[in-house]
Amino acid sequence: MQSLQVFYSGHVQGVGFRYTVKQIAKGFDVTGWVRNLTDGRVELQASGESGELTAFLDAIANSELRAHIREQNVTQLTQPPVARGFEIRHE
């Protein structure tokens, strides 16, 4: 199992980004969450097998969201995100 934190920047809020990511997650064996940040970025934390996570992030990058993503910063997490399935956070 691998856990990743991804920050997306660009025009990633107000375009259905979180909803689309949640829909994409349904096709992969991943758990985690996605949320908007006050600085205009979107944060994603996800856990799963390495190949599943890579395929999940590739699916996001190759979806209709690609037109809105200017930058994607990925870091490894030492602990998996606490989540039931894959969810949108509103905190």
DSSP 21-50: HHHHHTTSS-EEEEEE-TTS-EEEEEEE-H
Strand partners, 48: 2
Is 36 one of the catalytic residues? yes
Residue 39 contacts by C-beta under 8 Å, 6 or more apart in sequence?
A: none
Which of 35, 36, 41, 66 is catalytic? The answer is 36
Is 18 one of the catalytic residues? yes
Active-site positions read 18, 36
